[in-house]
């Protein structure tokens, strides 16, 4: 964890021309750039972002993996494998809680998104770190590099700050897990608000538990008389396209799947 934190901080401290050597290009969504806030947003992005596919290994495009700092590639390789191991255990605990089987291939995809939010002292009402949203994959594991606040979660119509804890990983339930568990585990709406005085850097690992086939409630959870499906099942490609369209429009995609 410490090496990953140091590598992330060092990457964002590099000159812009160095970071742009791994900039997003062509049709790829991998690489360095600014966070995409959606076409409906009336606020300016206030974050730098590096997005990479990390698992499966054959999905990695090393053209987008920074060679600076020199520790980065090794640190991310090791960290991504450890996060996959942690995720598998978490999903196993959740499966046991629900009384369903946990397959050996539960973790079917993984990507990493590093963010740096510079301090914003003026016009704070006109910028956004990350706008309100829920995550698409099954689980999100967030490692905070520093102790700067900024993450907020929504509950009961109100926003609550999440205080950073040294040495901790923040685990967030995503939309796919809500659908797979038929609502037993709910995805969490959250946002990032830039701090006025200090920058904030995070390493976020997105873990997918349904990389192919259908996205829908697990059949094992629909066996009882009262256990009706709360979400419709759709193909994985349709789910992915629908998610990105919803992000662009600033609408909650999960609502469209509810019966």
* Residue bearing tokens 């009384």: 99
Q: Report the mean per-residue pLDDT for the chain.
A: 90
* Cβ 227 vs Cβ 221: under 8 Å: yes
Q: Is residue 251 part of a domain?
A: no
Q: Tokens for 207?
A: 């873990």
Q: Which two tokens stand for residue 132?
A: 């309100």
pTM equals: 0.91
| Cα atoms in the Cβ-side hemisphere of radius 13 Å centred on 59 | 15
Cα–Cα distances in Å, from 62 out to 52, 56, 82? 9, 13, 20
The total number of structural domains that make up the chain: 1
CB-based contact 236:138 (threshold 8 Å): no
Helix, strand, coil percentages, rounded to 5, for the chain: 30, 25, 40
Q: Which token pair is 239?
A: 């789910």
Instruction: Show the domain range for 68.
Output: 2-210
Would you state the pLDDT for residue 107? 64
Does 241 map to a domain?
A: no
pLDDT at 210: 64
What b/e sequence results for 203-237 when a residue is b if at least 16 CB atoms lie within 10 Å of its CB, and e otherwise?
bbbbbbbbbeeebbbbeebeeeeeeebbbeebebe
CB 107 within 8 A of CB 91: yes
Averaged pLDDT, groups of 10, the chain, 259 residues long: 98 98 92 66 79 91 97 98 94 93 71 95 82 92 97 96 94 95 94 94 91 82 79 91 82 88
Query: Residue 239 contacts by C-beta under 8 Å, 6 or more apart in sequence?
Result: 176, 215
- Is 227 within a domain? no
Looking at residue 236, its pLDDT comes to 87
Q: Tell which residue, 34, 32, 85, has the closest CA to residue 55.
A: 85
CATH number at residue 63: 2.60.120.330
In a domain, 199, yes or no: yes
What pLDDT score does 251 carry?
81
């Amino acid at each position: 964890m410490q090496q990953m934190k140091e590598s992330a901080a060092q990457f964002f401290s590099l000159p812009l021309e160095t970071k742009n050597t791994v900039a997003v290009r062509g049709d790829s969504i991998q690489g360095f750039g600014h966070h995409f806030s959606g076409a409906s947003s009336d606020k300016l992005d206030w974050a730098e972002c590096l997005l990479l596919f990390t698992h499966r290994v054959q999905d990695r495009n090393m053209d987008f993996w920074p060679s600076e700092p020199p520790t980065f590639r090794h640190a991310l390789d090791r960290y991504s494998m450890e996060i996959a191991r942690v995720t598998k255990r978490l999903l196993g605990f959740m499966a046991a809680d629900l009384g369903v089987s946990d397959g050996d291939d539960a973790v079917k995809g993984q990507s990493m998104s590093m963010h740096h939010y510079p301090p914003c002292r003026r016009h704070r009402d006109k910028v956004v770190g990350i706008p309100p949203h829920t995550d698409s994959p099954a689980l999100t594991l967030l490692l905070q590099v520093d102790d700067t606040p900024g993450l907020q979660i929504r509950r009961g119509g109100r926003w609550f700050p999440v205080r950073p804890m040294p040495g901790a990983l923040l685990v967030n339930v995503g939309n796919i897990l809500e659908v797979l568990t038929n609502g037993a585990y709910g995805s969490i709406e959250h946002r990032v608000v830039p701090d006025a005085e200090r920058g904030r850097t995070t390493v976020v690992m997105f873990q997918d538990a349904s990389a192919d086939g259908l996205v829908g409630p697990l059949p094992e959870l629909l066996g009882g008389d009262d256990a009706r499906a709360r979400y419709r099942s759709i193909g994985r490609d349709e789910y992915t396209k629908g998610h990105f369209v919803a992000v662009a429009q600033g609408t909650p995609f999960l609502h469209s799947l509810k019966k």
